[in-house]
Structure 1
């Protein structure tokens, strides 16, 4: 590869690393073409790119972005799963695929700018999807309001019953 081509690849890696919400590094050694195609297909369904770059070019990009904590993960056959929407989606897919294939190995990741090891990727995979987390959060915010509304409703209902009883006593 000529020098201008290498510089273009380094620039591409930098742009993808900067714009991705999560980047998960995997060791794909031992996977055959069919398995890699199956993995790419399942990742593509979640708008995740699965790219293989030369480690030397990836290391240059990582250094330029000051993500040097990633360098130890850039040894041996390395592929990057780049998610630009949901940081959790590729983790779930890759962890499930690694369990199923028993070949794919998780190396590490950058999630929202934080470098994490393979164990954290597995923890990330256990989180519910982003939409579910937002729904849970919103439900938590709404719960006290529903409780307050119920309490206020009970007070007004109680007042109405008391006034009704007073009115019945006076008419009797």
Structure 2
């Protein structure tokens, strides 16, 4: 029979997997407590960094329906960044921290139910923030509307110029 503390830990991890937008698994071997605290701060309010036992995490991932996505990531000591919100921001925080602190290794993760490799997460971190992407999209849409308006405005003015040219030619021929 499972001990109550372990059952509670598995239930908590299962809830984290189900409720989060993404979970990024890392190896933290060699990081000091101060560095882990700095990492937690760098992830911001949208992510929760937890050091977990692989056995309990495998059980929780299985119960959350994510066993296939994360089964190969539980080698060595593991920690998970559970992301509630902008996944790109958390991926940037992990990438930047791992650049300056080489013991942190990104193993991979699950984002919106899709398995992601370490390279995929690094590519995700290279994306611009959601707000920047939305503003670029809005600018592109506004530009297309301006181009469409110019086309629609050009058609009647060209028609008027053509009619004027025809009238001028008739007048020349009549004279």
Normalising by structure 2, we get a TM-score of: 0.82
Q: Distance in 1 between matches of 2:15 and 2:53?
A: 16
Larger radius of gyration: 2
Matches within 5 A, 1:54-133: 54-68=53-67, 69-133=69-133
- In structure 2, the partner of 1:169 is none
In structure 2, list runs of 5 or more residues that go unmatched: 168-175
Deviation at 1:91, TM superposition (A): 0.8
Bigger mean CA offset, 61-70 vs 119-128: 61-70
**Residue 163 of structure 1, CA deviation:** 9.5
Task: Please tell me the root mean square deviation across aligned C-alpha atoms, in Å.
Answer: 2.3
TM-score (ref. length: structure 1) = 0.84
CA distance in 1, matches of 2:70, 2:127: 23
Alpha-carbon separation, structure 2, partners of 1:18 and 1:62: 9
Aligned-pair CA distance for 1:79: 0.9
Partner of 1:23: 23
How many Å separate the matches in 2 of 1:133 and 1:10? Answer: 37
| Residue 136 (structure 1) aligned with residue 136 (structure 2) | yes
Report the number of matched residues: 165
CA-CA distance at 1:73 after TM superposition: 1.0
